[in-house]
Structure 1
Amino acid sequence: MTKVGILGGTFDPPHYGHLLIANEVLSELNLDEIWFMPNQEPPHKKKSESVENNDRLQMLELSIEGNPAFKIEKIELERTGPSFTVDTMKILNERFSDHQFFFIIGADMIEYLPKWHKIDELIELVQFVGVERPEYSSKTDYPIVYVDIPAFEVSSSMIRNRVQHGKTVRYLLPERVIEFIREKHLYGT
């Protein structure tokens, strides 16, 4: 059975924090692959209106190139409306019946689990993997496998803000992504 970690998000832009989480979970849980799954419309937050899905996909492709264990799963970009994880996991489990899925979430989402759409059904479809974030509690009654991740405080919103204000984002995201942002004049560049 192929063991696959799924890391969902807006990836607006993808950064080294995403890659660090993916690599640590891959290694710690001895998974075969990590699938980065960009959201179309996450139900819990708004994605940036200024960046097209295709640009987010291209940045993600640039971020993961060179790592054969990292893939992109576009299932949520192919659907319209809010992306509910339970619907996505039903489809993935049907398409890939020989796979075991591990859904990676940060402590902010662990706190939010009781509010997830059809959470009781979802926990039957996928194993959640929680990664710590210092400002959030990771206590929950739901079955979660925890993976310690080295602290690296970076977020897509922080990067967008830095880019808009002309500050450096070097060492926060891959150089090829920085070049892409400049070439496409994203985030107010």
Structure 2
Amino acid sequence: MRKKVGILGGTFNPPHIGHLIIANEVLHALNLDEVCLMPNANPPHKEIQNRVTAEQRRTMVELSIQDVPKLKIETIEIDQGGTSYTFDTMELLRRREPETDFYFIIGGDQVEDLPKWYRIEDLIQNVHLVGVPRPNKSLETAYPIVTIEIPQIDISSTTVRNRITHGETTKFLISDAVREYIREEKLYEA
């Protein structure tokens, strides 16, 4: 029996409750064995904000999932460093785990950009793409994706960072452990 693993990539700067809801909903909707949150080293389409290190983002992901048995962390992109392309990363994972079927989870904002992805035609031959709705974004695409309806919460890491910078509450937006770590490390402060 082949293992079924979801991969949710992102900067996770910081990881918030929206990330956990997506991972958990896809885990159960597709009856996956686990979902791995995979922090990017240097995503090709986004600059990491606020001088937070890859190691700090990794720690925040670990803290946010520490009490959720089927949510794991995948550090392959951070371990490699440099710019990360989904195709290359998924090829490495497939070689490392040839008996695993991978489900790469993307939001509606990413679905719109699929035509611009590096080696998208090759990627869709080897990985199941799973699309989850985002506010005001379409899941319509010519590419084969499995769409999963999830409870939508319009929250972003930018919102969380801005709230921390302005001394506003982040209760229920990030885990208590992540909030404490951010406070100890003095991340995102003005």
Q: How large is the RMSD of aligned CA atoms in angstroms?
A: 0.9
8 Å Cα contact 2:15-2:174 kept in structure 1: yes
8 Å Cα contact 2:112-2:139 kept in structure 1: yes
Alignment of 1:62-81 (within 5 A): 62-81=63-82
Structure 2 unaligned segments of length 5 or more: list them: none
Task: Give the superposition deviation at 1:144.
Answer: 0.2
8 Å Cα contact 2:163-2:169 kept in structure 1: yes
Alignment of 1:56-67 (within 5 A): 56-67=57-68
What residue is the counterpart of 1:7 in the other structure?
8
What residue is the counterpart of 2:34 in the other structure?
33
Query: Which deviates further from its counterpart, 76-85 or 102-111?
Result: 76-85
What residue is the counterpart of 2:180 in the other structure?
179
C-alpha distance in 2 between matches for 1:50 and 1:167: 20
Task: Give the superposition deviation at 1:78.
Answer: 1.6
Alignment of 1:19-58 (within 5 A): 19-58=20-59
What residue is the counterpart of 2:91 in the other structure?
90
Moved over 4 A (4+): none
C-alpha distance in 1 between matches for 2:92 and 2:59: 24
TM (norm. structure 2) is 0.97
8 Å Cα contact 2:41-2:78 kept in structure 1: yes
Q: How many residues align?
A: 189
Percent identity among equivalent residues?
A: 52
8 Å Cα contact 2:135-2:154 kept in structure 1: no
Task: Give the superposition deviation at 1:80.
Answer: 2.9
Task: Give the superposition deviation at 1:134.
Answer: 2.1
C-alpha distance in 1 between matches for 2:55 and 2:95: 26
C-alpha distance in 1 between matches for 2:81 and 2:63: 25
Instruction: Describe the superposition over 1:118-158 as per-residue Cα deviations: whole angstroms up to 9, x where unpaired.
Output: 10011111000000012111110000000011011110011
8 Å Cα contact 2:107-2:134 kept in structure 1: yes
Alignment of 1:97-108 (within 5 A): 97-108=98-109
Instruction: Describe the superposition over 1:81-133 as per-residue Cα deviations: whole angstroms up to 9, x where unpaired.
Output: 21001000111111100100000000000000000001001111100000001
Task: Give the superposition deviation at 1:188.
Answer: 1.1
8 Å Cα contact 2:50-2:188 kept in structure 1: no
What residue is the counterpart of 1:147 in the other structure?
148
TM (norm. structure 1) is 0.98
